């Protein structure tokens, strides 16, 4: 069946799920050591931190090794299942689909590979232009992560990478000037705080990356750069407003000094209600900085304290160019906006360009893995196929994503929004926070529903191997004890995965004459056979935050 049609491959999977997988339990499947090891995929890149720490700061991050691992051994599948799924992927021509997705042809029907270049050749003595079609042109949204000097030609023959890096150079200059105090606020004080106003995927991606980097050692150096002697927290902060709710706006600015605050509005279309929230913030700036009394002109305050980022060129009209960033036309849909100025500008101001550069390099690294790696070892493809298997053949409903680290708490919401935009199905991904942050202990209501509900929902358990030591380590003990605590957290993750897969043992309940303890424990038992996937990275630094790119797999539409 190597040349099976999509319908034949689908029928084989349906029969396989019913007749061969249906009777099996994960307890039996996980006894096969060869199966377990074959369902673990490891991607290792040793190039993170290649440019050193931010602003030449000290780095205690170690070797810079960046491990990314996906463990599917607790999924209700065998190696034969994976072979059947790969047959389906081949039948749907997954490699060609990845090429279309990666190189700009997102419309399956209308895609055509653009020529790589035009060359002049002699034809019977006359000079003629011939089109060399041997090398297809890489695509436009990947140009946002492509290294300087790459060639990604647009349809008109221009190199898409050139304007991207021109924009990056502009952002680097702007952010460095702000961080060094060369572009201060209207009163001459250095900008300390950034308030980002926006909605959608780009804001959720920004919130996730910001939350992760706030706890990374290198990023903390960049976050504190130039802040010596500042009263208060001693580092730059980023806050978010995602609705027009005046209570939320008032809460965000309650302890901010307008003289040291920068407002960044991300308006993809220009029709969002958050523009009203931007108006509230403008009024706050004008009132606080003396516009109403005529002490300072409006234009100067806008130039010093506001930046607009948009995919709508009409927003740029009538505003000074220095406060406007317009997204490139090829990357204006929300899923492509994660590596545009919508994310890069605020991150660069808060953490510094060297950290942002590592973030972009990490995105390019995942792009390369996704485009060039064989589907059998391609992490986005494997995650997408696993979703197809669970939802279409095992009739599972949605997916629960559980981060086992506070630094990744914003990751599920970002993934849910991304998949809603790309797949058009807002209920495909069920998001939850990790058991370790639920009040009442690890057996909260979330756990009971996950382990005992009649509706089986596959789970993704996400964390990193190395602790982020930047988070108040001086208030804790030494690094060995912190590492020991991180090891305990990892043990908790594997224990959850094991209980989901194998269930809990009711035969070990202690003697309890009153029956209360036994009844309580019985409420917490589960029968297992609930699939989960483990997603682990080595260290959640700027380079590894590109982990979010692996979620582009489910857009492949089997």
Is 71's pLDDT higher than 90? Answer: yes
Say if 502 falls within a structural domain: yes
Is 260's pLDDT higher than 50? Answer: yes
For residue 76, the model assigns a pLDDT of 96
Query: For the segment 203-238, what is each residue's pLDDT rounded down to a tens digit?
Result: 999 999 999 898 888 888 888 887 765 554 468 999
Strands (DSSP E) along 78-208, which ranges?
117-123, 126-132, 193-197
Query: For the segment 106-126, what is each residue's pLDDT rounded down to a tens digit?
Result: 444 444 433 333 343 434 444
For residue 298, the model assigns a pLDDT of 84
Count how many domains the chain has.
2
* 543 shares a domain with 397: yes
**Segment among 143-147, 154-158, 218-222 with least mean pLDDT:** 154-158
Q: What are phi and psi of 242, to 5 degrees?
A: -120, 10
For residue 20, the model assigns a pLDDT of 95
What's the average model confidence in pLDDT over 502-524? 53
**Segment among 73-87, 201-215, 424-438 with least mean pLDDT:** 424-438
For residue 334, the model assigns a pLDDT of 76
Give the three-state DSSP class for 345. Answer: helix
Q: Which of 327, 356, 385 is the last residue of a domain?
A: 356
Say if 267 falls within a structural domain: yes
Give the three-state DSSP class for 321. Answer: helix
Say if 101 falls within a structural domain: no
* 496 shares a domain with 448: yes
Boundaries of domain holding 523: 6-53+71-91+373-556
For residue 266, the model assigns a pLDDT of 92
Tokens of 522: 């019985």
* 378 shares a domain with 352: no
Place of tokens 């995929």: 41
* 468 shares a domain with 351: no
For residue 443, the model assigns a pLDDT of 35
Q: Which residues contact 492 (CB under 8 A, 6 or more apart)?
A: 404, 435, 436, 442
- Do β-strands 430-431 and 117-123 pair in parallel, antiparallel, or remain unpaired? unpaired
What's 16's DSSP letter? H
Say if 129 falls within a structural domain: no
Q: Are 408 and 377 in contact (CB under 8 A)?
A: no
What's the average model confidence in pLDDT over 19-25? 94
Neighbours of 271 (CB within 10 A): 8
For residue 174, the model assigns a pLDDT of 95
* 523 shares a domain with 423: yes
Neighbours of 133 (CB within 10 A): 12
Q: Are 27 and 505 in contact (CB under 8 A)?
A: no
Query: How would residue 554 be classed by pLDDT, with cut points 50, 70 and 90?
Result: very low
For residue 137, the model assigns a pLDDT of 43
For residue 104, the model assigns a pLDDT of 56
Q: Which of 321, 356, 391 is the last residue of a domain?
A: 356
Q: Which residues pair with 153 in a beta bridge?
A: 159
Mean residue pLDDT of the chain comes to 78
Say if 209 falls within a structural domain: yes
* 336 shares a domain with 261: yes
Say if 153 falls within a structural domain: no
Tokens of 187: 């009163």
For residue 432, the model assigns a pLDDT of 45
Within 13 A of 546's CA, how many CA atoms are on the CB side?
27
Reference 404, options 492, 528, 295; nearest CA is: 492
* 319 shares a domain with 291: yes
* 383 shares a domain with 326: no
HEC sequence for 358-413: HHHHHHHHHHHHHHHCCHHHCHHHHHHHHHHHHHHHCCCCCCEEEECCHHHCCHHH
* 348 shares a domain with 215: yes
Query: For the segment 444-490, what is each residue's pLDDT rounded down to a tens digit?
Result: 345 667 777 777 888 999 988 887 765 545 565 567 777 788 888 89
Say if 135 falls within a structural domain: no
For residue 166, the model assigns a pLDDT of 94
* 319 shares a domain with 402: no
Is 49's pLDDT higher than 50? Answer: no
Cα 11 to its chain centre, rounded Å, is 34
d(CA 257, CA 251): 13
**Segment among 24-38, 374-388, 511-525 with least mean pLDDT:** 511-525
Q: Residue 404: give its domain's CATH number.
A: 3.40.50.10490
Query: For the segment 263-318, what is each residue's pLDDT rounded down to a tens digit?
Result: 999 988 777 788 889 999 999 999 888 776 666 788 888 899 999 998 888 777 76
Say if 258 falls within a structural domain: yes
- Do β-strands 66-71 and 532-537 pair in parallel, antiparallel, or remain unpaired? antiparallel
Is 141's pLDDT higher than 50? Answer: yes
Give the three-state DSSP class for 129. Answer: strand
Q: Which of 301, 321, 356 is the last residue of a domain?
A: 356
Neighbours of 83 (CB within 10 A): 14
Element (H, E) at 28: helix 26-29
What's the average model confidence in pLDDT over 120-149? 58
* 518 shares a domain with 384: yes
* 319 shares a domain with 428: no
- Per mean pLDDT, which of 63-72, 96-105, 262-271, 451-460 is the most reliable? 262-271
Query: How would residue 180 be classed by pLDDT, with cut points 50, 70 and 90?
Result: very high
């Amino acid at each position: 069946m190597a040349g099976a049609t999509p319908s034949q491959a689908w029928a084989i999977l349906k029969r396989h799920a019913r007749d061969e997988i249906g009777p099996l339990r994960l307890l039996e499947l996980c006894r096969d050591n060869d199966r377990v090891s074959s369902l673990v995929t490891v991607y290792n890149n040793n190039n993170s931190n290649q440019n050193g720490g931010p602003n030449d700061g000290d780095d205690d991050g170690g070797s810079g090794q960046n491990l990314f691992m996906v463990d599917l051994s607790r999924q209700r599948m065998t190696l034969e299942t994976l072979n059947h799924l790969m047959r389906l992927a081949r039948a749907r021509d997954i490699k060609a689909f990845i090429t279309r997705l990666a190189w700009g042809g997102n419309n399956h029907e209308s895609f055509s590979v653009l020529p790589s270049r035009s060359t002049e050749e002699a034809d019977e003595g006359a000079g003629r232009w011939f089109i060399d079609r041997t090398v297809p042109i890489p695509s436009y949204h990947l140009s946002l992560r492509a290294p300087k000097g790459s060639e990604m030609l647009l349809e008109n023959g221009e190199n898409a990478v050139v304007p991207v890096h021109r924009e990056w150079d502009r952002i680097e200059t702007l952010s460095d000037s702000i961080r060094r105090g060369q572009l201060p606020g209207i009163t001459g004080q250095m900008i300390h705080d950034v308030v980002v106003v926006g909605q959608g995927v780009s804001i959720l991606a920004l919130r996730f990356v910001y939350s992760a980097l706030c706890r990374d050692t290198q990023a903390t150096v960049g976050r504190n750069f130039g802040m010596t002697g500042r009263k208060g927290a001693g580092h730059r902060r980023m806050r978010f407003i995602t609705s027009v709710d005046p209570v939320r706006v008032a809460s965000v600015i309650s302890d901010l000094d307008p003289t040291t605050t920068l407002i960044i509005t991300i308006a993809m279309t220009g029709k969002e209600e958050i523009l009203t929230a931007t108006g509230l913030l403008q009024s706050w700036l004008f009132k606080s900085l003396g516009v109403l009394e005529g002490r300072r002109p409006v234009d100067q305050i806008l130039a010093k304290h506001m930046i607009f980022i948009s995919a709508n060129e009409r927003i740029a009209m009538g505003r000074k160019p220095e406060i406007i960033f317009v997204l490139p036309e090829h990357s204006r849909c929300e899923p492509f906006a994660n590596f545009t100025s919508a994310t890069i500008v605020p991150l660069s101001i808060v953490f510094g360009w060297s950290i942002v550069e590592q973030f972009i390099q990490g995105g390019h690294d995942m792009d390369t893995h996704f485009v060039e790696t064989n589907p059998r070892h391609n992490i986005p493809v494997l995650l997408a196929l696993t979703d197809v298997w669970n939802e279409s053949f095992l009739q599972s409903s949605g997916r629960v994503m559980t981060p086992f680290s506070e630094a990744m708490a914003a990751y599920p919401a970002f993934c849910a929004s991304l998949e809603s935009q790309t797949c058009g199905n807002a209920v495909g991904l069920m998001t939850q926070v990790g058991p370790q942050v639920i009040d009442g202990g690890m057996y909260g209501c979330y756990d009971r529903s996950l382990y005992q509900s009649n509706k089986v929902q596959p789970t993704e358990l996400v964390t990193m191997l190395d602790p982020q030591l930047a988070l108040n380590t001086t208030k804790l003990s030494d690094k060995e004890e912190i590492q020991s605590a991180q090891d305990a957290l990892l043990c908790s993750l594997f224990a959850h995965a094991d209980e989901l897969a194998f269930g809990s043992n009711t035969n070990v309940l202690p003697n309890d004459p009153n029956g209360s303890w036994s009844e309580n424990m019985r409420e917490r038992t589960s029968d297992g056979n609930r699939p989960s996937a483990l997603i682990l990275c080595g260290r959640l630094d700027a380079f590894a935050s590109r982990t979010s790119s692996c979620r582009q797999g489910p857009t492949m539409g089997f």
